[in-house]
Amino acid sequence: MRDHGRRGERLRLLISWVRLRGAVPLILATFPLLAGITQADYIFNIVFFIVLTSALAQGTTLTRVARWLGLEAPAADVPPSEIRLMPAQDVLEVKLEENLQAIGKRIVDLELPPTCSLPWSEEVTRR
């Protein structure tokens, strides 16, 4: 039970290291801009730079901090991606008139040629 408590403490430390830190300062830095205060853009730029710098510091040190806290997980054996990249092709956009028979049909029912590929689907099942 005591070991679980220590792991919980280390996990809390890791979460506090990677938590979202820049949203509130950036939102607060927009208030002077909206109020029209002189040099408000200067204030916003400083806040933005600080938030960006801290985000870069957190991102680049995350693995080291996790390792230091003993929370680094072993690398998972992930199979290679099954997404196939398609070569660059011409894109054809078609506007359908209201009286066409294709209106209201599912894409798989349109009897598209086998060489037709649709950008939002990996494969169209043909019947």
- pLDDT band for position 48 (50/70/90)? very high
At residue 126, the pLDDT reads 42
Mean pLDDT of the chain, nearest integer: 77
- pLDDT band for position 121 (50/70/90)? very low
| Tens of pLDDT, residues 3-17 | 556 778 888 888 888
Asked if residue 123 has pLDDT above 60, the reply is no
| Higher per-residue pLDDT: 92 or 44 | 44
- List, as own/partner pairs, every contact residues 16-25 make where C-beta atoms lie below 8 angstroms and the sequence separation is at least 24, other chains included: 17/58, 17/61, 17/62, 17/65, 18/58, 18/62, 21/51, 21/54, 21/55, 21/58, 22/51, 22/52, 22/54, 22/55, 25/50, 25/51
